Amino acid sequence: MDKDGIIALLNQDLEGEHGAIIQYLTHAYAMGEGEIACEIEPLARDEMRHLDWLAEAIIELGGVPSLERGKMRMGGESVADWMRNDVLLEEDGINLYREHIKIIDNPKIKRLLQRILSDEESHHGDFEHFVNKAQKEGAKDVRGSRTDKVVQTLNWGIEHEYTVILQYMFQSYKTTNPEAKKQMEDQAVNEMQHLGWLAEKIIDINGDPRIEHTEVDRSTRTADMLRADIKIEQEVAAAYDRAASETEDPDLKQLLLRIRDHEIYHTAIFNDLLKEEE
């Protein structure tokens, strides 16, 4: 199999990981603080690591990591149904990895996919266990139906955070500047925290967190990437600031200001990197 063929298969795997991350996080947030939710989060983190390894392997082969999200299995009436969907999603992944391991002849890639497959097999068992646990303990869907301006603002925040997580991760794969790579990875991790805080806050106030993203910058030169990052950070710092001044809820205000301050810090980091690039 030629390089392009392998890259196409790895991108299919990467898209599957992306879908799994969002499906599992959506389920974890929708369950609130429960025990199952806490046990799902490390599984979502495993999938993030898989996505990262696949992207690096694609770059090493001279390819471009896909930004598409693979098929998700959403829906279901109860937490047990969601966990069944997660079992099925793991089965989709396991079947795909087995097939790719069979047809890819590059030993290094084969080894990587075997490594990932062993995690998916373990996750499959974990989710089967969560189906039983959800049935026994009656784990609940804690999402509410509140859709006022506060919830809309928080969901706007999630949309922004998800967008920049993707943007900084994919830029970090493409940039040839090692310091920029490190900073993009670090800031992406910080944006993941923001996404989690916003989702938890929405659950707290009886809303429904929606994990969708908008257009991701696709620059190929590091200086252009950084310019796009600075622009988006400045815009959102201002938006979080505005949202903080509009709310009467002291906890929400504090949360929004904390995120705003992080975004101001991100702008400064990216500005320093840009100065060195120019």
**Which spans of this chain sit near Fe ion (rule: CB under 5 A)?**
17, 47, 50, 161, 191, 194, 233, 263, 266
Least separation in angstroms between CB 49 and Fe ion:
8
Query: Three-state SS for 5?
Result: helix
Least separation in angstroms between CB 108 and Fe ion:
18
State which residue, 89 or 203, has the beta carbon closest to Fe ion. 89
- Classify the phi-psi angles of 73: left when phi > 0, otherwise alpha if psi is within -120 to 50, otherwise beta: beta
Q: Are 6 and 109 in contact (CB under 8 A)?
A: yes
Query: Three-state SS for 63?
Result: coil
State which residue, 126 or 233, has the beta carbon closest to Fe ion. 233
Query: Three-state SS for 32?
Result: coil
State which residue, 139 or 244, has the beta carbon closest to Fe ion. 244
Q: Are 263 and 240 in contact (CB under 8 A)?
A: yes
Least separation in angstroms between CB 246 and Fe ion:
18
Least separation in angstroms between CB 178 and Fe ion:
21
Give the separation between CA 157 and CA 256, rounded to whole angstroms: 9
State which residue, 16 or 207, has the beta carbon closest to Fe ion. 16
Least separation in angstroms between CB 2 and Fe ion:
25
- Token duo for residue 163: 């967008």
Least separation in angstroms between CB 99 and Fe ion:
15
Give the separation between CA 173 and CA 165, rounded to whole angstroms: 13
Closest CA to 83 of 170, 150, 91: 91
State which residue, 47 or 208, has the beta carbon closest to Fe ion. 47
State which residue, 191 or 217, has the beta carbon closest to Fe ion. 191
State which residue, 27 or 50, has the beta carbon closest to Fe ion. 50
Give the separation between CA 11 and CA 7, rounded to whole angstroms: 6
- Token duo for residue 152: 């809309």
Q: Are 238 and 268 in contact (CB under 8 A)?
A: no
Least separation in angstroms between CB 194 and Fe ion:
4
Give the separation between CA 157 and CA 197, rounded to whole angstroms: 10
